[in-house]
A and B are shown apart, each in its own frame.
Chain A
Amino acid sequence: MSYRHNIQLTEDKKLKHFLSIEGLRRQHLVEIMDTAEGFASVAEQSVKKVPLLRGKTIVNLFFENSTRTRSTFELAANRLSADVLNLDISTSATSKGESLLDTLANMEAMQVDMFVVRHSTSGAAHFIAQHVPKHVSVINAGDGAHAHPTQAMLDMFTIRRHFGEFAPLNVAIIGDILHSRVARSQIHALTTLGVNEVRVIGPKTLMPCGIEQMGVHVHHDLKQGLKDVDVVIALRLQRERMTGAFIPSEKEFYNAYGLTDETMTYAKPTAIVMHPGPINRGVEIASSVADGPQSVILKQVTNGVAVRMAVMSMCMGNVAARGGM
């Protein structure tokens, strides 16, 4: 895949669309986190709103359900003073036979400035970015098993706020790596930001082959994998995407890979626990860990709003400032 020009960037290498972490440089990721740091303080105002995107229209185009991601995108847009339209396509026009491009053309006729897209097919957001007019930005809110870049960035932001730096950290991602777009984006972000080591831990059946080429160490044993780890990321077991016999049973998965008070002792005592949500208590994580002192799971949700505000305002600002070029 060699593009003469990265579709995500303007000609002077500024963020225009946010489709995947892949193809972005460390400076882009740092700029997103720096901008998010400023927006985090907006939540402390009594009026939780800044006028940056006043008069802009953002459409949340969700072809796949997601309560948390959609509502944090909506809240982020509202706090930037944009007008937001939520379109739940799974219950709408496409089920009446309308093609994706026709749906888009209709949206564009409504003078939209940004699309936030979630789709079950990998590459959907990229496809839409190729077909929108040049003044419109596209943000990927999750496409198939490919990428979920804003989730990865809110995780990076949460890690940076806790530890202050990336270089000395060992990070372990546990569970269903195979179906996880979150894991892919996290791995790209962690390696781009230069952590000491990224590990993926899980059964062979939930491990995509060739994942080592992304620069990670593969472990099938939880105890071994968690040794000296600073950041423990549990993933949701995506039962809805499992059409074959990937694991014998949830109980067995929990016994081998579940995060419990006991298995957490394998990691560093100062380690933090993250989860992109929604969590399955007793499947990939015990309640005592999810609600325990090492958990930053709810901080991730809070940080998600600031990070999405940062990405939205950066993309729109760069497009507006350069006349879409």
Chain B
Amino acid sequence: MTQKYDVEAMLQQMTIELKNLCSEVCEHEPAMIGIHTGGVWVAERLHDSLGLNQPLGKLNISFYRDDFTRIGVHPQVNPSSLPFSVEDRCIILVDDVLYTGRTIRAALNEIYDYGRPARVILVTLVDRGGRELPIQADVVGARMALSEVEQVKLSGPTPLQLAVVTKPNSN
């Protein structure tokens, strides 16, 4: 079973909501950070459509994951790069899929190791439910109620495409 989504329309809607939210809560121009790999793809699009001046920050949260004792360390092909100071800045954190919330927990910890942001706004293309931590997104492209055997697949960076697939029975 595969279902496809209109990512372009989702990005447009997210841009509008994000613009409104930022003008409401951010004192200065916000900076954007995408989480590797899918989050960076989504962030690149939103960064463009919002016309932000600060270069896009990229976060690789491998060293902050909470499953180190289960699966060990991952080599980072794309290390984190935050080409701006996060100190006292309004940060838009972007990921592709919000699920358990553990990735966002790790990302927040890493951001705090660079400084203390004034505020963090969380943006995800998909919120699929299934949270294991008290974390929620401020702007969401699509909400889905998926079961454990279903998986959100994002392919990109161009074209950015979203599909929900059912995992094969293995595992």
Closest residue of chain B to A49 (Cβ to Cβ) is B113
Q: Which one of A103-111, A114-122, A284-292, A314-322 contacts B?
A: A314-322
What is the 8 Å Cβ interface bit string for chain B, positions 63-76, against chain A (1 contact, 0 not)? 11000111111011
Q: Which of B7-55 contact A (CB under 8 A)?
A: none
User: Which of A14, A40, A46, A51 is close to B72, meaning CB atoms less than 8 Å apart?
Assistant: A14
Min CB distance A305 to B, Å, is: 14
Answer whether A320 and B63 are a contact pair too, CB < 8 Å, given A51-B109, A314-B73.
no
Q: Which of B54-106 contact A (CB under 8 A)?
A: 60, 62-64, 68-73, 75-77, 79-81
Asked if B75 and A46 sit within 8 Å, CB to CB, the answer is no
Answer whether A40 and B79 are a contact pair too, CB < 8 Å, given A46-B113, A50-B63.
yes
- A side interface size, CB within 8 A: 23
Asked if A35 and B79 sit within 8 Å, CB to CB, the answer is no
Whether B157 is near chain A, meaning CB under 8 Å from some CB there, is no
By a CB distance below 8 angstroms, the chain A residues around B110 are 50
| Interface residues in chain A, defined as those with a beta carbon under 8 Å from any beta carbon in chain B | 14, 31, 34-35, 37-42, 45-47, 49-52, 313-314, 317-318, 320-321
| Interface residues in chain B, defined as those with a beta carbon under 8 Å from any beta carbon in chain A | 60, 62-64, 68-73, 75-77, 79-81, 109-110, 112-115
A–B Cβ pairs within 8 angstroms, 23 of them: A34-B76, A35-B73, A35-B76, A38-B63, A41-B79, A41-B81, A42-B63, A45-B114, A46-B115, A47-B113, A47-B114, A50-B64, A50-B110, A50-B113, A52-B73, A314-B72, A317-B71, A317-B72, A317-B73, A320-B68, A320-B69, A321-B69, A321-B70
